[in-house]
Amino acid sequence: MDKYLISVIIPVYNAKDYIRECIDSVLNQSIKGIEIVLINDGSTDGTTEILREYQDNHSNITLIEKANEGVLAARHDGILNAHGELIGWVDADDFLDISMYQELYDLMIRENADYVYCDYNFYPEEIKSKAKWFKEWRGVMDWKFLERNTQCWKSLTKKELLNRINTADNYLRYGEYAWIEVLLNAEKIAYTNKCLYNYRVGHVSLSSANFEGRVQKFKSGVEQASHLKEILRGTKYESSLSAYFDYRYIYTLLQLEVVAAVNKDRAAYMEASRELKRMHFRSNQYVKEILDFNHGKKKSFVLRNVIPASYSAAVLITKAVY
């Protein structure tokens, strides 16, 4: 087995229009010693043939083919099959600046950090209404930092950190929230304001919002968020972030109410509504503040007051909006 400095994990599902640009941007990185781990998540559009071609032509590419289970299971499999000292991530429809991993590696060495990250560009053009998943690290682990930095794909992380907190399995247990645990447990975080990652927008992707037929997916999100306090347990942030972690769970319940209303699933809506009442969600100190921050005051008001008011109100408002 060859030794690699960096393993770059790329979950792939039906990305034939973009995957060549994505893989080439990793192959052409200025730093050497990169392994690429491609996780083909049951593609059906011709992507598989492209991935096999790259594997045949590049000794540093490993291709894992599996049935479709979603991006979180793909990330789990990616970590288990990565051999590098450091882990990077790229989504299959995105691509990197040629110097991204060299600059992040130099930053990691310079700052003696185990987690580093960069800013990114929207591609092909900025979407002003879309908030960026980026906030500078100023030494304070607060909700504003966590709200804006829970995406793994703009980062470089020591594999030792991911193994120590079992991030592979945590992707299956906590979903996207698993990356919060990485942030909480990193011994030293460093960042650069340089936009070294290109995040493609304006097309259908694994992360595109579409609420129809997705009640079960959002139920799974609620289940994952219900375990979030486990991430806090035993950390130095257990007290200071407790109410914020309650907010994260509350937000998934509000999302489920919206999705249930779109799909006219009264049972799912009422289930979420009962749990919101049990959580006394309006008394949580972060609900209004963070919803205002993320969605603007008008949408925040609807999410906090109109959607939870009644099933009928939720159906009417979601029919008009979605």
pTM for the whole thing? 0.93
Domains of the chain, residue spans: 6-200, 215-321
> What pLDDT is stored for residue 152 in this prediction?
97
CB neighbours of 54 closer than 8 A, spacing ≥ 6? 23, 36, 38, 61, 63
Distance CA 10, CA 94 (A): 10
Per-residue pLDDT of the chain (322 residues; tens, 9 = 90+): 578 999 999 999 999 999 999 999 999 999 999 999 999 999 999 999 999 999 999 999 999 999 999 999 999 999 999 999 999 999 999 999 999 999 999 999 999 999 999 999 999 998 877 789 999 999 999 999 999 999 999 999 999 999 999 999 999 999 999 999 999 999 999 999 999 999 999 865 444 456 899 999 999 999 999 999 999 999 999 999 999 999 999 999 999 999 999 999 999 999 999 999 999 999 999 999 999 999 999 999 999 999 999 999 999 999 988 7
Q: Reduce the DSSP state of residue 233 to 3 states and report it.
A: coil
> What pLDDT is stored for residue 307 in this prediction?
97
Distance CA 269, CA 195 (A): 40
Give residue for tokens 């990356």. 179
Q: Nearest 10 degrees: CA dihedral of 302, 306, 312, 318?
A: 0
* Residue 157 near residue 230 (C-beta atoms within 8 A): no
Judged by phi (left if over 0) then psi (alpha if -120 to 50, else beta), residue 215 lies in alpha
> What pLDDT is stored for residue 207 in this prediction?
45
Q: Which CATH number fits domain 6-200: 3.90.79.10, 3.90.550.10, 2.60.40.10, 2.40.10.220?
A: 3.90.550.10
Q: How far is CA 146 from the centre of its chain?
A: 12
> What pLDDT is stored for residue 209 in this prediction?
52
Distance CA 82, CA 270 (A): 43
Q: Reduce the DSSP state of residue 49 to 3 states and report it.
A: helix
Distance CA 58, CA 41 (A): 20
| Peptide linkage before 308 cis (omega within 30 of 0) | no
Distance CA 318, CA 321 (A): 5
* Beta-bridge partners for 155: 117
Report the length, in residues, of the chain: 322
> What pLDDT is stored for residue 129 in this prediction?
73
> What pLDDT is stored for residue 218 in this prediction?
96
* Residue 35 near residue 84 (C-beta atoms within 8 A): yes
